């Protein structure tokens, strides 16, 4: 048919071939695997691979293959594939016993996609939690930690304000009782009045009252107002949600579900993650850096005295380095991870040691610039702070105790002035540098979080859902194909062929852009297939109408496609608006359904009109027709 240009044939052919190629990886399901990676400074090499082989052979556990792989985020690791989940679990237990604490043994999935498909970028669709299994955490946000941080901030801010206003004071310190604010001690009633006015003017979120007088000590109490505490609590939940999203997105977990639950809890669902311990290291960690002035190292007599007697100067902390060496560092922060806007791991060009390159925001850069300008030739310490939770069983009950570890990872003399960009060295390994960069780049948590419950969703549930979903797709597709073939004859068969390619292209596009397939997504595919045939119904009915009006068969085909196109476009635009709303405003499974529907509408418009037109043109082009099989 002359009304169908040759370039469109080429377009259809290219799209169908590419669609078939990139849909193929979904026919290769991943197999259970065990991942072995270095936990500390251990090395992943051929010797480790041989040790794994020996351990599995000793335990008489058969495996499919084992390979050393590399990932930019987690370094080298060994991946061992197995035929089923039972062998995977047995192998994990055997390897944990054989390798000890030097290596981390975790469940994983190994791709079975052929190398030639992987080479051209072919990959299967990632599966959601309901299909693939994964882990679910319920985390409680420590609201007391929010109060502690804010009161510490106000303590430093009030001291700075009084110095700026040149109001003499004896001391500024937090009240020993949480939530009772900051106590300011002044030497006269006039100073207290001036301080009260300054604080009330500068910090409207503080309630300022006079405390008891003792001789020449005049006390002022600054307490955070209840409205501000409520705002802080809400803000902490929001910031923790955003931080968790950043961290998990950096890990590459597909379509995680992260949402607030109640007033102080956060629910996290991670599809495809089979090892809760590894996931907790990332989502529950509150690792950060603190940059402080160094007051002495192990060679300093004051440090040696603090270690022996336990008498630490009031303005200092006694911390230890990676190798147990003691340091005295200032309690006053220069900058912290809260003021960091970017972080990247790598190796120092001079020493080759692992490092993290950091970039501070304007506030942090200003403080760092002021400090380094005034302290060239003096030491500065970099403190690595990690908040964890110790879990113990006491009287048959699980007791969780928060624990904070401070480690001096770098203690060096300031050689020059710098502000917002610099490097932090002294990290024990490249993996530690990579993990720290991930934590810092993802942002700091506004408050400590404790995991109060966790669960692993087994793959058996997912497999059952996959089978049911596949049956639903096949049943829906089969019934639609049968109805179209019976009612519209040859044109119905052409529509059936286009509908099949619609499914292929839809799967290919979802695979290429990494759309996560969930049960709502499968529902979106079934709905798309059902709606896709509508366009062909409109075309066939227009062709029938043209034939009844006396048009020739070829003219009827041409008019059928031309006149039906406007109606098809109008109908699909309304569907697209609804799909866009679900995609942009929804989250989790709702967003997955919307994305699937959006892609399906676009692919169905192409296959229902362009592909069917191409096939019809090939069948009827150049022939003298008396009628049409429609």
The mean of the pLDDT values for the chain is 80
pLDDT band at 391 (very low <50, low <70, confident <90, very high): low
Asked whether residue 547 carries a pLDDT value surpassing 70, the answer given is yes
* Rounded Cα distance, 110 and 122, in Å: 15
Residue 3 DSSP one-character state: T
pLDDT band of residue 279 (cuts 50, 70, 90) is low
Q: By percentage, how much of the chain surpasses pLDDT 90?
A: 5
Lowest mean pLDDT among 78-87, 185-194, 425-434: 425-434
Best-predicted range by mean pLDDT among 32-41, 74-83, 217-226? 217-226
What is the mean pLDDT of the segment spanning 174-179?
81
- The alpha carbon of 352 is separated from its chain's Cα centroid by a whole number of angstroms, namely 30
Separation of alpha carbons 50 and 53, rounded Å: 5
143 versus 408: which is more confidently predicted? Answer: 408
Kindly report the number of other CB atoms within 10 A of residue 431's CB atom. Answer: 22
pLDDT tens for residues 238-249? 877 877 776 666
Evaluate whether 550 touches 500 at the Cβ level (below 8 Å).
no
Mean pLDDT is lowest, of 4-18, 304-318, 363-377, 414-428, for: 414-428
- CA distances for 130 relative to 139, 260, 317, angstroms: 20, 20, 48
Structure tokens at 312: 């630490």
pLDDT at res. 320: 92
* CA separation, residue 176 to residues 149, 172, 429 (Å): 14, 12, 39
With b for 16 or more beta-carbon neighbours within 10 A and e for fewer, the 298-317 pattern comes to beeeebeebeeeeebeeebb
Domain 6-25+461-620 of CATH type 3.40.109.40? no
**DSSP state at residue 611:** I
For the chain, give every domain's residue range: 6-25+461-620, 31-110, 144-228, 285-440
Q: What is the pLDDT of residue 564?
A: 79
Q: What is the mean pLDDT of residues 259-272?
A: 79
Compute CA distances 41 → 10, 37, 432, whole Å. Answer: 56, 11, 9
Per CATH, 31-110 and 285-440 having the same topology is answered no
Q: Are 525 and 39 in contact (CB under 8 A)?
A: no
Distance of CA 278 to the CA centre of its chain: 14
Residue 460 has pLDDT above 60, yes or no: no
Query: What is the DSSP secondary structure assignment for residue 626, as one 8-state letter?
Result: S
Chain-centre distance of CA 395, in angstroms? Answer: 37
For 76, what's the count of Cα atoms within 13 Å in the CB-facing half-sphere? 12
Higher pLDDT, 125 or 461: 125
Strand, coil or helix: 286: coil
- Tokens 């001036």 correspond to what residue? 194
**DSSP-based helix, strand, coil % in the chain, nearest 5:** 50, 25, 25
- Report residue 367 as tokens: 């403080």
As a whole number of angstroms, the distance between CA 431 and CA 102 comes to 13
The least confident of 227-241, 342-356, 502-516, 522-536 is 342-356
Beta strand segments in 498-624, E: none
How high is the pLDDT of residue 438? 64
**What are the b/e assignments for 266-283, b being 16+ CB within 10 Å?**
bebbbbbbbbbebbbebb
On the 0-12 / 13-18 / 19+ scale of CB atoms within 10 A, 399 is exposed
Express each pLDDT in 527-541 by its tens digit.
887 788 888 888 888
The torsion defined by the Cα of 584, 585, 591 and 596, in degrees rounded to 10, comes to -50
DSSP readout, 475-507? HHHHHHHHHHHHHHHHHHHHHHHHHHHHHHHHH
Q: What is residue 326's predicted lDDT score, i.e. its pLDDT?
A: 93
The alpha carbon of 573 is separated from its chain's Cα centroid by a whole number of angstroms, namely 33
| 324-360 as b/e: b if 16+ CB within 10 A | eebbbbbeebbbbbbbbeebebeeeeeeeebbbbbbb
Residue 458: pLDDT band (50, 70, 90) is low
Instruction: Write out the two tokens for 243.
Output: 């931080």
Average pLDDT over residues 113-139: 82
pLDDT at 88: 83
Q: Which class is 31-110 in CATH?
A: alpha beta
pLDDT tens readout for residues 475-492: 877 887 888 888 888 888
Give the whole-number percent of the chain exceeding pLDDT 70. Answer: 84
- Provide the CA 440 distance to its chain's centre, in angstroms: 13
Q: 607, 499 in Cβ contact below 8 A?
A: yes
- The pLDDT of residue 63 is 83
Give the span between the Cα atoms of 466 and 463, in whole angstroms: 5
CA dist 477 and 459 (Å) reads 26
d(CA 149, CA 141): 14
In terms of pTM, does the model score above 0.85?
Answer: no
Query: CA 368, 370, 376, 378 torsion: positive or negative?
Result: negative
pLDDT in tens, 362-378: 778 888 888 888 888 88
Burial call 596-625: b when 16+ CB within 10 Å, e when fewer: bbbbbbbbbbbbbbbbbbbbbbeebeeeee
| Cα–Cα distance measured from residue 325 to residue 64, given in angstroms and rounded to the nearest whole number | 47
Asked whether residue 34 carries a pLDDT value surpassing 80, the answer given is yes
CA distance 218 to 184: 8
DSSP strand pairing (31-38 vs 103-110): antiparallel
* pLDDT for the residue 1: 43
What whole-number distance in Å separates Cα of residue 431 and Cα of residue 356? 11
All residues at 6 or more sequence positions from 122 whose CB lies less than 8 Å from its CB, including other chains: 21, 22, 24, 25, 113, 511
Taking the C-alpha atoms of residue 346 and residue 249, their distance in angstroms, rounded to an integer, is 20
**Which residue in 125, 248, 124, 13 sits closest to 524, CA to CA?**
125
Higher pLDDT, 364 or 432: 364
Token code pair at residue 39: 């936990």
Residue 551, pLDDT score: 76
Burial of 220 (0-12, 13-18, 19+ CB in 10 A): buried
Place of tokens 């907790």: 280
CATH, range 285-440: 3.30.1360.200
Question: What DSSP string describes 123-185?
Answer: -PPPB-HHHH-EEEEEEEE-HHHHHHHHHHHHHHHHHHHHHHTT---SEEEE-SSTTS-EEEE
Q: Are 239 and 445 in contact (CB under 8 A)?
A: yes
pLDDT digits (tens, 9 = 90+) for 322-349: 788 999 999 888 887 767 777 777 777 7
> Both ends of the chain: CA-CA distance in Å?
18
Dump pLDDT digits (tens) for 66-109. Answer: 777 665 445 677 888 888 878 888 888 888 888 876 777 777 77
pLDDT band at 18 (very low <50, low <70, confident <90, very high): very high
What is the token pair recorded at 168? Answer: 């003499």
- Region 460-480: mean pLDDT is 72
How many Å is the Cα radius of gyration of the chain?
33
């Amino acid at each position: 048919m002359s009304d169908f240009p040759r370039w469109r044939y080429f377009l259809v052919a290219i799209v169908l071939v590419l669609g078939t190629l990139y849909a193929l990886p979904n026919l290769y399901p991943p197999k259970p695997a065990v991942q072995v990676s270095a936990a500390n400074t251990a090395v992943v090499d051929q010797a480790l691979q041989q040790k794994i082989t020996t351990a599995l052979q000793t335990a008489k556990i058969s495996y499919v293959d084992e390979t050393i792989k590399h990932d930019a985020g987690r370094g080298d690791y060994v991946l061992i594939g197995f035929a089923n989940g039972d062998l995977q679990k047995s192998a994990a237990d055997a390897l944990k016993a054989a390798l000890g604490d030097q290596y981390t043994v975790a469940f994983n999935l190994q791709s079975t996609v052929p190398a030639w498909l992987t080479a051209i970028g072919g990959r299967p669709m990632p599966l959601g939690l309901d299909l693939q299994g994964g882990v679910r955490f319920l985390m409680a946000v420590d609201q007391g930690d929010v109060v502690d941080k804010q009161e510490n901030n106000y303590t430093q801010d009030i001291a700075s304000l009084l110095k700026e206003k040149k109001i003499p004071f004896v001391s500024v310190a937090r009240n020993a009782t949480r939530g009772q604010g900051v106590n300011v001690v002044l030497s006269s009633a006039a100073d207290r009045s001036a301080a009260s006015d300054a604080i009330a003017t500068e910090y409207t979120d503080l309630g300022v009252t006079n405390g008891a007088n003792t001789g020449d000590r005049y006390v002022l109490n600054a307490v955070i107002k209840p409205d501000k505490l409520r705002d802080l609590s809400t803000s902490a939940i929001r910031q923790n949600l955003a931080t968790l999203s950043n961290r998990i997105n950096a890990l590459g977990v597909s379509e995680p579900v992260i949402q607030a639950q109640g007033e102080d809890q956060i629910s996290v669902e991670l599809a495809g993650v089979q090892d809760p311990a590894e996931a907790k290291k990332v989502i529950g960690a509150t690792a950060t850096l603190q940059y402080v002035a160094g007051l002495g190292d192990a060679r300093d007599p004051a440090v040696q005295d603090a270690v022996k007697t336990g008498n630490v100067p009031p303005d200092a902390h006694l911390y230890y380095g990676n190798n147990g060496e003691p340091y005295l560092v200032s309690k006053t922060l220069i900058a912290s991870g809260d003021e960091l806007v970017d972080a990247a791991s790598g190796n120092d060009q001079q020493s080759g040691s692992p490092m993290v390159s950091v970039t501070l925001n304007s506030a942090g850069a200003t403080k760092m610039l002021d400090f380094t300008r005034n302290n060239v030739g003096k030491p500065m310490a970099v403190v690595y702070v990690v908040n964890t939770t110790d879990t113990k069983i006491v009287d048959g009950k699980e007791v969780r105790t928060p624990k904070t570890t401070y480690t001096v990872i770098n203690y060096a003399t300031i050689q020059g002035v710098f502000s917002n960009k610099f490097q932090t060295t002294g990290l024990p390994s490249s993996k530690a540098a990579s993990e720290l960069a991930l934590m810092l780049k993802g942002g700091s948590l506004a408050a400590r979080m404790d995991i109060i419950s966790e669960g692993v969703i087994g793959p058996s549930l997912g497999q059952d859902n996959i089978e049911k979903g596949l049956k639903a797709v096949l049943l829906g597709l089969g019934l639609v194909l049968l109805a179209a073939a019976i009612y519209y004859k040859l044109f119905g068969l052409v529509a059936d062929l286009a509908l099949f390619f619609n499914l292929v292209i839809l799967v290919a596009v979802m695979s290429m852009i990494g759309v996560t397939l969930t049960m709502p997504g499968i529902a979106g595919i079934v709905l798309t297939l059902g709606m896709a045939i509508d366009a062909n119904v409109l075309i066939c009915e227009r062709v029938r109408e043209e034939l009844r009006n006396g048009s020739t068969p070829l003219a009827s085909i041409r008019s059928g496609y031309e006149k039906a196109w406007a109606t098809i476009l109008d109908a699909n635009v309304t569907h697209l608006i609804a799909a866009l709303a679900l995609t942009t405003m929804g989250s989790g499974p709702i967003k997955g359904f919307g994305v699937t529907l959006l892609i399906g509408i676009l692919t169905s418009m192409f296959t229902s009109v362009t592909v069917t037109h191409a096939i019809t043109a090939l069948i009827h082009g150049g022939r003298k027709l008396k009628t049409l099989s429609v």
